[in-house]
Structure 1
Amino acid sequence: MSSPRHRYISVGGTQIFYREAGPPDAPALLLLHGFPSSSVQFRHLLWTLAHRWRLVAPDLPGFGFSAVPDHRHFAYTFAHLAEVIEGFVRAMGIEPRALYLHDYGAQTGFRLLASAALRPAALVIQNSEAYFDAGRTDAWSSAEAYWRDPSDANRERMRASLLNEDGIRREFVEQLPAHIAERIDPAVIRLACDHVQRPGVADALLDLHRDYGSNVAFYPAIQAHLRRARLPTLILWGRGDQYYRPAQAEAFRQDLPEATIEYFDGGHWLLETHPGEVAAAVQDFLQRHLAPPALRPLHEMRGVQ
């Protein structure tokens, strides 16, 4: 079995941290994480699928262990994140056969799809939106107020309500029943809490929040691409997500009528609460749609580093 590796690569002068697992000659799966986590959310998936896939999971700039360039000199916008990830893919020399997109990672990946910078053969979408009016909840109220009116006052309200330990913890466990919330590793929450205390991180994240409205404006282009490409798509959804309700999962059927949607009794962080079930669903989906190479014997895989 191929153990995950943890590495850095420079992309346009920005150090990008990434996790990787699986044989280097296997079909590549690019995994893009959500807010306020990092590639750590994919750690279980890397172990589970590495026997026949090459999994590559970068930390977006300003997240996890990637560099946090000064927001006064680095554009923390989703368009720029997409440019960085396009550069990352080129620097890695990979052509992802499939994408796993979650939350902010989805907003980044959708842009790469629409621009044809990435041409995968299949998609996995987890708790992410591309249809603004579908099932919007009150949880968006403060964030939406900020991107519609990015005043200093609204910026500081966002900083005070979200970018602290209580705010980050709520992002992981809000509205989850206790028996689901207790499945989330507290070390992951602690990592995210500590991360926002790093110099420059809060302002980087606030800039990204301010830019979220650009995603909404871009949704028609994303929808048009999904409608044209009709890629095999697996949609994984936690019913208890405080931001992304099941109606938003169903909205994808407008342009992807043949998409498979699987619901779980979890929230936004299915890879924390349902790692085994998610891995099984992803593996089955990839096997059916990407015709991967035959499973290698374990004694051969032990030598892969």
Structure 2
Amino acid sequence: MVTVLAAVLVGCGGRAVVPAPSPIGPGGGGATAAATPEASWPEKTYYRTVEVRGRRIFYREAGSRDRPVLLLLHGYPSSSHTYRELIPLLSGRYRVVAPDYLGSGFSDHPSPEEVTYTFDLLAEYVTGFVEALGLTQYVIYMQDFGAPVGFRVALAHPERLRGLVVQNANAYLDGLTEDRRQFFRRAHEDRSEAGLAALAQTVSATAIRERQYLRDVPGEKRERMSPDTWTHDLALLATAEDRAIQVQLFQDYQANIDAYPSWQAFLRARQPPTLIVWGRNDPAFVSAGARAYLRDLPQAELHLLDAGHFAVEEQAVAIAQHVVRFMEGLNAGAGREPVCLSDRF
């Protein structure tokens, strides 16, 4: 069966809108120029650890070390496991590195009674991780929590940043509904026993399965979501201390919203090449947050995918194709026209 990517134009605040080429899937008898990138064999993914500030940081790595680097930063409630399908799709061309944050995945989980978990802390460890690996230039791919971590890493060393890939990673109030803004304000301000109990429910097994992974995939779309996702996450959120780490991060999330203006100023000043691939069915980080990037990055490329918050779980191949085209244009130093598209499959 031929799978065709149809581009449906959406409003971009008056910016130029350029139709995308239509990639042709398996059995399609070829593709038009500049459409589907040629497939490349994946390289072996390695599962490694490195010591950062006396803590063990776990990471997945694939691809030759002399190739351009993609640094994949994960969201909540996941880890580098969220990129298990994307890494092989990119590793034939690039060096792909995906760490687990301190307190997440297979990295060390120091007790939240010993360490107060903040996004500043996570970013400090990712910056230390990058330095431990000797990475001097990279494109940052960020999803969900990856945005507050990624922006801090980028601002700490802007000379290292070659570009951004933004996947349901918010940096604008436009992307947050009023309910979502109130949730983060309450999490920050309400430290009562009742407030902590309410936050604890957000990291329960039911919440992670039903209100994270399965929320955005009704009907037959649910078949896109591997049960490995929540099973893996819940195995690493098994203890009260593990769950308390994520509660502390929710309590700190308002600091990210307060930092949005500084992130936006960074984007305006630096104009990093940027690809935005956003699941348009996400009710938490709504697609207005994707379009908002174009205010500060008029040359950014935007694709709204038929997917939810965990778009890379649903549309890994489509995202990989966009990333390859973006990276090849970046590596060639090609200029990019502003693009705003809605991808329908």
Contact 1:29 1:96 in 2 (8 A): no
Structure 1, gaps ≥5 residues long? 293-305
Distance 2:294 2:189 in 1: 28
Once the two structures are superposed, the pairs formed by residues 177-196 of structure 1 within 5 Å of their partners are 177-196=218-237
Distance 2:316 2:108 in 1: 28
- Give yes or no for the alignment of 1:245 onto 2:297: no
Q: Letter of the aligned partner of 1:163 in structure 2?
A: V
The number of residue pairs the alignment matches comes to: 291
Please report how far the alpha carbon of residue 262 of structure 1 lies from its aligned counterpart in structure 2 after TM superposition: 0.4
Distance 2:85 2:175 in 1: 31
Q: Which among 9, 33, 42 is matched to residue 83 of structure 2?
A: 42
Once the two structures are superposed, the pairs formed by residues 66-105 of structure 1 within 5 Å of their partners are 66-105=107-146
Q: Where does structure 1 differ by over 6 angstroms across 4 or more consecutive aligned residues?
A: none
Distance 2:228 2:100 in 1: 17
Moved more, 209-218 or 150-159: 150-159
Please report how far the alpha carbon of residue 290 of structure 1 lies from its aligned counterpart in structure 2 after TM superposition: 2.0
Structure 2 residue matching 1:200: 3-state secondary structure = helix
Please report how far the alpha carbon of residue 141 of structure 1 lies from its aligned counterpart in structure 2 after TM superposition: 4.1
Structure 1 residue matching 2:112: 3-state secondary structure = coil
Please report how far the alpha carbon of residue 214 of structure 1 lies from its aligned counterpart in structure 2 after TM superposition: 0.6
Give me the identity figure in percent.
36
2:323 match: 282
Structure 2 residue matching 1:20: 3-state secondary structure = strand
Q: Which among 308, 311, 320 is matched to residue 267 of structure 1?
A: 308
Distance 1:142 1:201 in 2: 21
What TM-score, normalized by structure 1, do the two folds share? 0.91
1:60 match: 101
Please report how far the alpha carbon of residue 149 of structure 1 lies from its aligned counterpart in structure 2 after TM superposition: 2.4
Larger radius of gyration: 2
Distance 2:171 2:84 in 1: 26
Question: Structure 1 or 2: larger helix share?
Answer: 1
Q: 1:273 to 1:133 in 2, by over 3 A?
A: closer
Distance 2:326 2:158 in 1: 23
Q: Letter of the aligned partner of 2:72 in structure 1?
A: L
Please report how far the alpha carbon of residue 10 of structure 1 lies from its aligned counterpart in structure 2 after TM superposition: 1.0
Structure 2 residue matching 1:101: 3-state secondary structure = strand
- Give yes or no for the alignment of 1:112 onto 2:157: no
Structure 2, gaps ≥5 residues long? 1-41, 334-345
Contact 1:125 1:235 in 2 (8 A): yes
Moved more, 187-196 or 121-130: 187-196
1:302 match: none
Please report how far the alpha carbon of residue 177 of structure 1 lies from its aligned counterpart in structure 2 after TM superposition: 1.8
RMSD: 1.6
Please report how far the alpha carbon of residue 238 of structure 1 lies from its aligned counterpart in structure 2 after TM superposition: 0.6
Distance 2:223 2:179 in 1: 25
Distance 2:86 2:254 in 1: 31
Distance 1:70 1:213 in 2: 22
Q: Letter of the aligned partner of 2:87 in structure 1?
A: L
1:162-200 C-alpha deviation (Å, 9 max, x unpaired): 121101012111142222222011011111122211352
Distance 1:240 1:68 in 2: 32
1:300 match: none
- Give yes or no for the alignment of 1:130 onto 2:130: no
- Give yes or no for the alignment of 1:20 onto 2:61: yes
